Structure 1
């Protein structure tokens, strides 16, 4: 079991939980919820940003409303284990706007790609245009999501 980060006290953890739930909370609201003055809450939040505990605040969009309703996961196996192939693959996949996440993994394949497309009819084009031309791609297996069980989970703090 991993030890708890030593730089966070109960107030910091409360602030992190509250901001994960709603990043638009005002300083006044945060202060009231954690029992600090607005200045104290503001200073804490600034420190959490400065120390890298909070890395961004952004809006969570409805994928279907912007034409990205289909979520797919793609296992990718590369044909070589050479470092330059992995580097070229990572550089190329980072440029693909459909790709939300890409993780290098251990196991039966090399990368797990998470992508959003309009609908399944567009998937073949996405595969041919984006995934298969990537450097070193030998094999892919795709899994289409048919329902969100726990999307965008909050981190426990």
Structure 2
């Protein structure tokens, strides 16, 4: 379980994940050694999964984002595994989610232009195995993308 000190640490990390541990320890009011120990424990427990950078795809020329809702032909018992394995190999697929319900999977696909997307769709997506139906949703705007949780 998390105690109040852990929650304070996590709140400060969410607000500025790149801050040095010395600044974090000072901000939450704990000794540096204690802060390191708590961070290590939170990583060991799987609460913290490391630090990284978020890449802004449009800055690299990827201006088109499409969400594909996929329904699979589940008559083959290996349909999910074979589809997911092949979808992982498409470089422009940046996210894969699976669901229970009418839609089996969602792929987030990025492209440099609509013509580039059409090429990806025809040459890579439509060749994925076991697809019964696809619904494409063109990304227009991100209204909320909150990466923090209430602590």
Alignment of 1:4-153 (within 5 A): 7-153=1-147
Distance 2:9 2:76 in 1: 44
Question: Over aligned residues, Cα RMSD in angstroms?
Answer: 1.6
Alignment gaps of 5+ in structure 1 = 1-6
- Per the alignment, do residues 97 and 18 of structure 1 end up closer, same or farther by CA in structure 2, a change over 3 Å counting? farther
Q: Flag the 1:82–1:154 CA change in 2: closer, same or farther, 3 A.
A: farther
Q: Aligned pair in 2 of structure 1 residues 94, 17: CA closer, same or farther (>3 Å)? A: farther
In 1, distance between residues paired with 2:4 and 2:57? 35
Q: 1:129 to 1:139 in 2, by over 3 A?
A: same
Shift of 1:152: 4.9
The count of corresponding residues between Structure 1 and Structure 2 is 151
Select between 16-25 and 140-149 the one with higher mean Cα deviation. 16-25
- 1:81 shift after superposition: 4.5
Which aligned segments of 4 or more residues in structure 1 are displaced greater than 4 angstroms?
Answer: none
Contact residue 110 and residue 117 of structure 2 kept, 8 A: no
Q: Normalising by structure 1, what TM-score?
A: 0.87
Segment drifting more, 35-44 vs 9-18: 9-18
